[in-house]
Amino acid sequence: MGSFRTRVVWIMILAAVILAFAAETRIDAFPFTTVFIKKPRRFYHRMNCVAVKSGRPTAISLANAKEQGYRPCPKCQPPTW
């Protein structure tokens, strides 16, 4: 069996690989997270945001909103993963 230092290095490498993989797949891990958009603005919002209270917001998945170029609302701070 390897030394303690060797095991620590391997654990650190494994942790780095797992974190890199998680960062790459974070959006795909939650494809059905629902956010709300209200045209013509280019922001996506939480359901309880003041910006979408009036009118008829459209429910859309977070992944689709990001693909279409929407940005997170600075007021309600919806999820960005």
Domain tally, the chain: 2
Residue 28 has pLDDT above 50, yes or no: no
pLDDT tens, position by position, 70-81: 999 998 888 776
Q: Is the pTM of this model over 0.75?
A: no
Q: 52 and 78 in one domain?
A: yes
Domain interval for residue 56: 31-81
User: Residue 21: what pLDDT?
Assistant: 64
Q: 54 and 80 in one domain?
A: yes
User: Residue 43: what pLDDT?
Assistant: 93
Residue 51 contacts residue 39 (beta carbons within 8 Å): no
Q: How many CA atoms lie within 13 A of 55 on its CB side?
A: 13
Q: 50 and 14 in one domain?
A: no
Q: 24 and 37 in one domain?
A: no
User: Mean per-residue pLDDT for 46-62?
Assistant: 86
Q: 49 and 12 in one domain?
A: no
Q: 22 and 53 in one domain?
A: no
